[in-house]
Each structure stands twice: as C-alpha cells, then as structure tokens.
Structure 1
Amino acid sequence: MERLQKVIAQSGVTSRRKAETLITDGKVKVNGKVITTLGTKVSRDDKVEVNGVPLEKEEPVHYLMYKPRGVISSVKDDKGRKVVTDILGEEVEERVFPVGRLDYDTSGILLLTNDGEFANLLMHPRYKMDKIYVAKIKGLPTKSDLAKLKKGIKSGEDVLKAVRYRVLSQDRKAGTTILELTLHEGKNRHVRRMMEGLGFPVAKLKRERYGLLTLDGLKPGEYRPLTPKEVKQMYNQGQKIVK
C-alpha cells in the first residue's frame, strides 16, 4: 500500500506537492469515488483517476539537459514558443516534465523526469539542494552591497536570499561584475529579481550546478540520462542534509 499522493507523483502526472493539491481540490478518484483526504493509501489493484484520466504507471526516468536561452521551461506554451520537451528526441517516450524552471533568457542545467518523488527532492527547500548560478551583472557592488544577499532582498511579497556568493571577476572599464551565487530556493526569477532589488540588474545568467550534477560534456540544447549512480547520489545527498 502506498500513499495516494505518492502514487500520483510516481506516475509522472505531476509533483507530489501538486498531487496533494489535486486531492484536496477533489480532482482525484479511487475506484470511482472522489478522495479528498491526504494520506489515503491505495494498492496496485486500485483504479486511480486524476481529472478523469486513469493513471498509467511508467518506469521512472531522469534526464539532465543543458537548456539554451530562448526556450521555455515547460511542456507547452500558449504563445507557441519552443519548450524544453521539444528538444527531446523520440527515444524519450515517457511523459517527463521539467523540475522547477529556468527563465526564458537563462541557460544551464535543468532536470527533466516523470518521477515526482525525485522532483520533490530537488525542489523542496527543506532538502537544501545547492543550485549554483553564474551571473553577469551591471555595476560594481561593494562588499557591503553583497552582504545584503544573505540577509535577503525584499521583492514584492518575497524575501530573496543567496546562501553563498563570491565575486569571480570585475571589469571596471565596462562596469560589470561576474558573480557566483548559491541558492536553496528557486522562486520565480529569483536571481534576476534579487539582483534588481539590490540595484545591479542581471545581463546574463547561467545555472552551472544542481546538487552534485554539472554540465560537463554537454553543449546548449544537449541532454543525457542520469546514471543510476547519480540518481542514488542525489537521493543520498538530500537525505543526509535533512538528517
């Protein structure tokens, strides 16, 4: 027996957190009966439907992509723009979805999977998974300016923080700075809004690492499956952090 939200997440329909919302919103049926109680357990013999569509269990798959700029981190776009799943070849038959988002104008490492448990591990702040970005910003911030990143920059209703930061280089003639920023959260346009709030807008942004994973060996627009060892290492890293 497994928890209903876990079964939905493992089917590749959505993440575990979104599965919980679907349940509480009355969008899930088990054996024809609407279920709204989180934690309800089901077996493999139970018929589960989400928004009227029966679940089809898929084997979990995990891909690492070097997302280029000018591509939407989604499975579809109402404006007809290119999305990350358009990059995938015919060998990827499973219904994968991107883990979190990278902005349209941001490049770098992006994970795609049909494994909701794995997606939750990567996205949930409690696992404190390092997401390392390199940003080219306009301006020459001082040490006191950058110290505010750890305290948090107010942006709308959010307080946006960097766990760590370091200056990689500064071009005083051009008036630009290259920063490495480590985040644990991934709020909408997190780095760009944070730096704009500090007074140093981002000119170029790339995510270079996600936990233990890097872009080594990939060019923009390329992808590869994660090895079983890498998947295990990511799970182990998250579990060690929580403990």
Structure 2
Amino acid sequence: MERLQKVIAHSGIASRRKAEQMILDGLVKVNGETVTELGTKVSPTDRIEVEGEQIKKEKLAYYVFYKPRGVISSVKDDKDRKTVTDFFGHVGERLFPVGRLDYDSSGLLIMTNDGEFANMLMHPRHGIKKVYVAKIKGIPTSEQLKQLKRGVRSEKDLLKAIRYDVISTDRKKNTMIIQLTLEEGKNRHIRRMMEGLGFPVLKLKRERYGTLTLDSLQPGESRPLAPHEIKALRKQVSL
C-alpha cells in the first residue's frame, strides 16, 4: 500500500505537492469514489482517476548499478554534479537509489522505483550484509583490526564490522587492502570507523549487497535484476 499522492506523482501527471492539492480539490477518484484525504493509501489493483482520466501506473523496475567515484547517490544535486540517475536516461521509469554510496566511493548500488522494496532493504532490523573493499593508509596491528568487530566510537555512533579479511599489505607504500562486511550502514560508516583507528581510507568499493554482486559490470554500467534475484532479496528481509 502506498500513499495516493505518491502514486499520482510516480505516474508523471504532477509533482507530489501538486498531487496533494489535486486530492484536496476533489479532483481524484479511487475506484469511482472521490477522495479528499491526504493520508489515503491505495493498492496496485485500485483504479485511480485524476480529473476523469485513469492514470497509468509505472511499471516496477529494479537494477543493479556500478556507481563510479565522483557521482552523487541522489536523484538530483543542487550543485549540478553528476548523479546516479544521469546513467538511466534510457529507462522509462523514474528510478532512485536504495541507500547511498558517498561521492568518493564506488561499487554496487540498487536502483528502483519500488518504495516499499527500498524501505524493506534499508530497514536496520533486517541486517542485510554488505561487503566492501577498502584501501587504507597505514598497516593496523592484529589487535587494532580486532577493534573493528568490537566497535569504534565516532561522535554518537559505535561503528562495527561483523567481519574483516586482510587481502594484502604493501609495507613499502604503507598501505593495506582489507575486505569489510557490515550489517548496518551509518553515514560514511567505513571511512569514519577507519579514521577513528587512525587509518584513513584512500579508496572504497562496495562489492556485494546481500546476494547481489557486480559480476562483470564496469563503472557506470547497470543491468536489470532477474526475478530470482528480487525474490532472494525479499526473502532476506522476511527472515
């Protein structure tokens, strides 16, 4: 079930705010009945008319996208920087990202127009595992690495990784490449966590989200999710 004004906005007839005004003005009918309350929720099977015309509901779409560095994880940007939606001009549906990857990070991002699906994936209680690879400045000791599982205090947050695996170390360049698995995703989680230990992140890439991987995708490329992949993600949040 979704709010009526949201469904109207998704159909492309009007913005969310304009759709709300149309409802208040008595211009919207659901299953033949005029609706004037903004809190009204509708199902995919409800017939919705705006000013006597039945709206066409947008087909639900799901994509996995390899976000490059230097791209904003947002629908638009007030500084006119490149956003993830700029890579989906060929898609008829209006997509938005599920969660975020910060501007300087790259990797797997789910794009969809299914708000319910996105909210389920992002809800903290579901604890969907996300796997990242980070290149950090400095080489932590084994005891410092163990602190990642205990948690690193940053501002009011206790930032944790549920698993870490050292991929390589370069003592000449004083760097380490480490794989980190999270069940939560606070703002700039890994960058803040590693900075808290004294090892700033030089590069960061998300390689896995739940059951999804980047496979053979290159930065800037995307592909539709297969039905079995969508089903597997829904199964994870229902556990």
Q: 1:87 to 1:41 in 2, by over 3 A?
A: closer
Counterpart of 1:200? 199
- The answer to whether 1:174 aligns with 2:173 is yes
Q: 1:42 to 1:68 in 2, by over 3 A?
A: closer
Query: Which residue identity does 1:69 align to in structure 2?
Result: R
Identity %: 60
CA–CA distance in 2 between the matches of 1:141 and 1:147?
Answer: 10
Counterpart of 2:67? 67
Counterparts of 1:51-200 in structure 2, within 5 Å, are: 57-90=57-90, 92-200=91-199
Q: Give the deviation of 1:116 after TM superposition.
A: 1.4
Q: Give the deviation of 1:121 after TM superposition.
A: 2.6
Q: Residues 121-172 of structure 1: CA distance to partner in whole angstroms, max 9, x if unpaired? A: 3211211111100000011111111111112111112211111111111111
Q: 1:73 to 1:41 in 2, by over 3 A?
A: closer
In terms of Rg, which structure is larger? 2
Counterpart of 1:33? 37
Q: Secondary structure at the match of 1:231?
A: helix
Gaps in structure 1 of 5+ consecutive residues: 14-21, 23-27, 49-54
Q: Secondary structure at the match of 2:79?
A: coil
Counterpart of 1:230? 229
Q: Give the deviation of 1:59 after TM superposition.
A: 1.9
CA–CA distance in 2 between the matches of 1:71 and 1:84?
Answer: 6
Q: Give the deviation of 1:34 after TM superposition.
A: 3.8
Query: Which residue identity does 2:83 align to in structure 1?
Result: V
Gaps in structure 2 of 5+ consecutive residues: 11-16, 18-22, 29-34
CA–CA distance in 2 between the matches of 1:118 and 1:237?
Answer: 12
Q: TM-score, normalised by structure 2?
A: 0.81
Q: 1:176 to 1:75 in 2, by over 3 A?
A: same
Size of the aligned set, in residue pairs, is: 215
Q: RMSD of the TM alignment (CA)?
A: 2.7
